[in-house]
Structure 1
Amino acid sequence: MLMNLNRLYDWATDEVLKTPTMTMRGPLPGWDIIRTATPEKMEHILKTKFDNYIKGQHFSSLYSDFAGVAMLTADGSVWKLQHRFAIPNFSTQMIRGLVLSSF
């Protein structure tokens, strides 16, 4: 990992894609993290079973300066409120448009 600090996100993606399930679970200092590259597992983590993946106060306090109190940093009822307001903005057409515009 240290040899890849200049391309950390690319390296992390490469590592996940090497696994048969395209999902990795591994500790970082102070955290147990999950990385995945499949849409189905992302939906499971971010929507279907969101309550199973608690971020906790430590994560929220580190990232709230960057992301505010939003879906990415919230748990429980705060997350549900943020999710309800954000979901209409993530339609299939909007996401398809973002993907196509990146090429």
Structure 2
Amino acid sequence: MVGYRCEIVNTATGEARTYESDRFDESTPFWWRDGNYACDCNRKTTWLRLADEYPEDCTDEEDEALCPCGHGSFRVAELVLMDGRRIPIDRPV
């Protein structure tokens, strides 16, 4: 199995954080384009966890307030596979 990485960019600040996974399959691009990881709520949760800023004891209600659903607050330009291939995710703004 091939791994991948991507940069999740906070569009308000421009700060990027790198997410890495050792699991990539043919459904991975779908998850980032149209699935759960296309939504700002999951991208922000992941972005916060990358810097240990996500509260460990966060309730569902607190999570909804901290990481609201939407599109455009967090961007992922591409997935970079460990074998060098690049897969576009979000279209340029």
Relative to the length of structure 1, the TM-score reads: 0.28
Say which structure is richer in strand: 2
Higher relative contact order (CA 8 A, sep 6+): 2
Relative to the length of structure 2, the TM-score reads: 0.30
